[in-house]
Amino acid sequence: MNVTELIQSVLTPVALISGTGLITLTIQTRYGRVIDRLREFSKELAEIGDRSPKRREIVKAQMDILIRRGALLRNALFSLYFTVFLTVLSSIFVLISSLGASLLTFSLIFFAAALFSLMVGMVIALFEVLISYSAARNEALQTISM
């Protein structure tokens, strides 16, 4: 493998890392908003006390949905971070292979695992998107019926 091929094979995973980073940034923002919203609802529950049982029910229902969403987003983030880790390992094995060790098979295995991890993270994120709409819809309908 000449130097040009080596650089190309090591830098190719950079596109995967870059794309994964952009997706991770978006999901991290959603995760932060869910956490902030949970804190707001917790504060609201403490302030409501027993004065408004109907509102207390609505807030608890929303918190349940937010807790599920938070867990999904956390798992999606873990999967995406793991994608980056596996992609970096793949690049390292390509570099080591260029020194004479026959480790290209490991590089391919790590790269395939990275693609699988990316897919898992995206599927989890898609489920969270579906839940987020239902949460907003439920809150709007409950607020209208008050």
Q: Is the pLDDT of residue 146 over 70?
A: no
Query: Mean pLDDT of all residues in the chain?
Result: 89
Using alpha carbons only, give the angle 129, 134, 137 rounded to the nearest 5 degrees: 125
Contacts 24+ apart (CB under 8 A), 96-101: 97/1, 98/1, 98/6
* DSSP conformational letter for 52: -
pLDDT digits (tens, 9 = 90+) for 10-27: 777 888 899 999 999 999
How many domains is the chain partitioned into structurally?
1
Average pLDDT over residues 21-48: 94
Average pLDDT over residues 140-146: 77
pTM of the model: 0.84
Confidence of residue 138 (pLDDT cuts 50, 70, 90): confident
Q: Please give the residue range of the domain that contains residue 14.
A: 3-144
Q: Is the pLDDT of residue 106 over 90?
A: no
pLDDT digits (tens, 9 = 90+) for 61-102: 889 999 999 999 999 999 999 999 999 999 888 888 878 777
Distance (Å, whole) CA 104 – CA 18? 22
Residues 79 and 126: beta-carbon distance below 8 Å: no
Residues 61 and 138: beta-carbon distance below 8 Å: yes
